[in-house]
Amino acid sequence: MPDRWPRTILHADMDAFYAAVEQHDRPELRGRPILVGHPGPRSVVTTASYEARPFGVGSAMPMAEARRRCPQAIVVPPRFTRYEAVSRQVRAVFDAFSPVVEPLSLDEAFLDLTGSEGLLGPPGKIAGDLKAAVREATGLTVSVGAAPSKYVAKVASDVGKPDGLVVVAPSEVRAFLAPLPIRRLWGAGPKTAVRLEAMGLATLGEVASCEPGRLEAALGSLGPHLWRLARGEDERPVIAEREASSIGYERTL
Ligand SMILES: [Mg+2]
Ligand 1 centroid to residue 218 C-alpha, Å: 34
Res 95 pLDDT > 70: yes
pLDDT the model gives residue 41: 81
C-alpha distances in Å from residue 173, one per residue of 134, 163, 178: 27, 21, 9
pLDDT the model gives residue 35: 98
Distance from the Cα of residue 253 to its chain's centroid: 23
Res 102 pLDDT > 50: yes
Q: Coil, strand or helix: which one is 24? A: helix
Ligand 1 centroid to residue 12 C-alpha, Å: 8
Res 69 pLDDT > 80: yes
**pLDDT tens readout for residues 143-168:** 999 999 999 999 999 999 999 999 99
* Helices 80-97/17-25 angle, 10° precision: 110
Q: What is the mean pLDDT of residues 72-91?
A: 97
Q: What is the DSSP string of 147-200?
A: ESSHHHHHHHHHHT-SS-EEE--GGGHHHHHTTSBGGGSTT--HHHHHHHHHTT
pLDDT the model gives residue 162: 96
Q: How confident is the model at residue 134 (pLDDT cuts 50, 70, 90)?
A: very high
Ligand 1 centroid to residue 208 C-alpha, Å: 28
pLDDT the model gives residue 103: 97
Res 237 pLDDT > 90: yes
C-alpha distances in Å from residue 170, one per residue of 147, 167, 227: 7, 10, 17
**108 labelled catalytic:** yes
pLDDT the model gives residue 40: 85
Q: What is the mean pLDDT of the chain?
A: 93
Q: How confident is the model at residue 252 (pLDDT cuts 50, 70, 90)?
A: very low
Percent pLDDT > 90 in the chain is: 88
- Name the catalytic one among 28, 65, 108, 241: 108
pLDDT the model gives residue 249: 46
Res 251 pLDDT > 80: no
Burial (Cβ within 10 Å: 0-12, 13-18, ≥19) of residue 190 = exposed
Instruction: Give dist(CA 9, CA 163) in Å, integer.
Output: 18
Q: How confident is the model at residue 189 (pLDDT cuts 50, 70, 90)?
A: confident
Ligand 1 centroid to residue 14 C-alpha, Å: 4
Res 243 pLDDT > 70: no
CB atoms closer than 10 angstroms to residue 198: 9
Q: What is the mean pLDDT of residues 100-128?
A: 96
Q: How confident is the model at residue 1 (pLDDT cuts 50, 70, 90)?
A: low
C-alpha distances in Å from residue 47, one per residue of 15, 29, 93, 182: 10, 14, 23, 25
Ligand 1 centroid to residue 7 C-alpha, Å: 24
Q: How confident is the model at residue 3 (pLDDT cuts 50, 70, 90)?
A: confident
Q: Which residues contact 119 (CB under 8 A, 6 or more apart)?
A: none
Res 242 pLDDT > 90: no
